[in-house]
C-alpha cells in the first residue's frame, strides 16, 4: 500500500513508521501531529488539499469556510493561510498554528465528499461565509452556485438551488450572518453567466429601473422560434442587454455577435451592449444607457 503524502502519528504507527523516522531530516513536519515521511515540493493548492485530507481523516471534522470555498471553486476564493475545519462531533479543536477549528450545528445533509476530502456542501459553505462577507459578495456567490459556469465551464451542474438556500436558512435562524444571508438569497437569481451580469442587474434595480430577466429566451413573435438567450432582457419593452467580456473580441465570437444583433433587429428588439467601461462609478454609465433605452420604448418611471 502506498504511503499517504501527509499522515498523522496514528497513521504512522499503523504503517509501521516510527515517530523518530518522522523527525529525521528526510521527513517534514507541517502542523500539529501532521507529517510527511519524505520531503517534496508542492504548490500551495496541493499542500492545502493534502493537509485537509490528513486533518479530517478521523471523520470528526470537515473542511469548511474558506477551505471549503477554495475546494468548491468559489469565485475570488484563495488558498487560506490556515486550514479551516468544522467539528461535526460538536467539540472544538485545540487551536494550533496553521489550523482554525470551529464547532456548530452541522446536519448530515450539510456535508459531503469532494476528491476524498469531507467538507461542507456548497450551500452550507456559503452560509458559513456570511458572517465575514458583505451582501454583494453573497449575492454573487449565490448566483454562481445556481449556475456555476463562470469562467466558461459550461458543462458544470448547479451546486445549489434557491430552495436549498431557503431551507438552509430556515434550519439555522440564529446563525451569525443570517440577516445578510437572507438579504442575499432574496436578490439572487438563477441563470447568471458571469459576475458582471449579476453586478449589472443589481445596479439597474438599485437605481430604480425595472429588474430585467436573467438569461431568458427571446422568441420571434412571427415564427415562434427562439432567437437568442439574452444576458438580461426586458421582454415588455423588447430590450436585450449583453455584457461583452474579453472573449467577445475573438474573431469567431465577433461574427456570432453580429449575426445575433441582426436577428434581434429583425424582430424589433433593441440590443444594448456593455463592457468593463460601463461599470465605472458604480455602473452609472450602464444605468444611464439602460434608462434612456427604456424611456424610448415606453417605460414610465413610478410616480410620473
Q: Are residues 202 and 281 in the same domain?
A: yes
Q: Are residues 246 and 186 in the same domain?
A: no
- Per residue in 91-144, pLDDT tens? 555 455 556 767 788 899 999 999 989 999 999 999 999 999 999 999 999 999
| pLDDT for 270 beyond 50 | yes
Q: Are residues 89 and 1 in the same domain?
A: yes
Proportion of the chain in helix, strand, coil states, percent, rounded to 5:
40, 15, 40
Q: Are residues 201 and 278 in the same domain?
A: yes
Which of 190, 219, 239 is at the close of a domain?
190
Q: Cα-atom radius of gyration of the chain, to the nearest Å?
A: 24
Whether residue 75 lies inside any domain: the answer is yes
- Per residue in 247-260, pLDDT tens? 555 666 677 878 88
Whether residue 153 lies inside any domain: the answer is yes
- What domain count does the chain have? 3
DSSP 3-state of 156: coil
Whether residue 301 lies inside any domain: the answer is no
- Per residue in 30-85, pLDDT tens? 566 666 655 666 667 887 887 788 777 666 789 999 999 999 999 999 999 888 98
Q: Which residue has the higher pLDDT, 199 or 9?
A: 199
DSSP 3-state of 219: strand
Which of 190, 209, 236 is at the close of a domain?
190
**What value does the mean pLDDT take over residues 232-242?**
96
Whether residue 249 lies inside any domain: the answer is yes
Which of 79, 105, 131 is at the close of a domain?
105
pLDDT for res 39: 61
Q: Are residues 56 and 127 in the same domain?
A: no
Q: Are residues 168 and 231 in the same domain?
A: no
Domain range holding 265? 195-296
Whether residue 143 lies inside any domain: the answer is yes
Check the CA dihedral 164-52-93-80 and report its sign: negative
Amino acid at each position: 500500500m502506498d504511503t499517504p503524502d501527509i499522515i498523522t502519528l496514528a497513521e504512522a504507527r499503523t504503517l509501521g513508521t516510527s515517530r523518530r523516522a518522522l523527525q529525521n531530516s528526510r521527513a517534514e513536519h507541517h502542523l500539529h501531529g501532521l507529517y510527511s515521511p519524505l520531503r517534496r515540493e508542492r504548490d500551495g493548492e496541493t499542500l492545502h488539499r493534502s493537509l485537509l485530507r490528513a486533518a479530517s481523516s478521523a471523520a470528526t471534522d470537515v473542511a469548511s469556510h474558506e477551505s471549503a470555498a477554495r475546494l468548491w471553486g468559489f469565485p475570488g476564493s484563495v488558498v487560506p493561510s490556515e486550514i479551516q475545519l468544522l467539528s461535526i462531533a460538536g467539540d472544538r479543536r485545540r487551536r494550533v498554528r496553521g489550523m482554525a477549528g470551529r464547532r456548530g450545528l452541522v446536519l448530515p445533509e450539510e456535508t459531503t465528499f469532494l476528491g476524498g476530502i469531507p467538507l461542507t456542501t456548497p450551500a452550507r459553505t456559503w452560509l458559513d461565509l456570511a458572517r465575514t462577507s458583505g451582501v454583494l459578495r453573497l449575492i454573487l456567490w449565490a448566483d454562481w452556485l445556481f449556475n456555476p459556469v463562470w469562467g466558461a465551464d459550461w458543462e458544470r451542474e448547479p451546486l445549489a438551488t434557491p430552495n436549498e438556500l431557503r431551507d438552509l436558512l430556515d434550519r439555522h435562524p440564529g446563525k451569525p450572518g443570517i440577516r445578510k444571508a437572507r438579504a442575499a438569497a432574496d436578490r439572487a437569481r438563477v441563470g447568471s453567466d458571469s459576475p458582471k451580469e449579476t453586478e449589472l442587474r443589481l445596479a439597474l434595480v438599485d437605481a430604480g429601473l425595472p429588474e430585467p430577466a436573467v438569461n431568458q429566451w427571446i422568441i420571434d413573435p412571427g415564427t415562434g422560434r427562439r432567437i437568442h438567450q439574452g444576458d438580461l432582457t426586458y421582454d415588455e419593452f423588447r430590450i436585450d442587454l449583453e455584457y461583452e467580456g474579453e472573449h467577445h473580441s475573438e474573431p469567431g465570437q465577433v461574427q456570432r455577435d453580429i449575426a445575433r444583433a441582426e436577428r434581434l433587429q429583425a424582430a424589433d428588439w433593441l440590443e444594448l451592449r456593455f463592457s468593463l467601461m460601463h461599470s465605472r462609478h458604480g455602473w452609472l454609465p450602464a444605468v444611464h444607457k439602460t434608462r434612456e433605452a427604456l424611456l424610448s420604448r415606453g417605460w414610465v418611471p413610478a410616480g410620473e
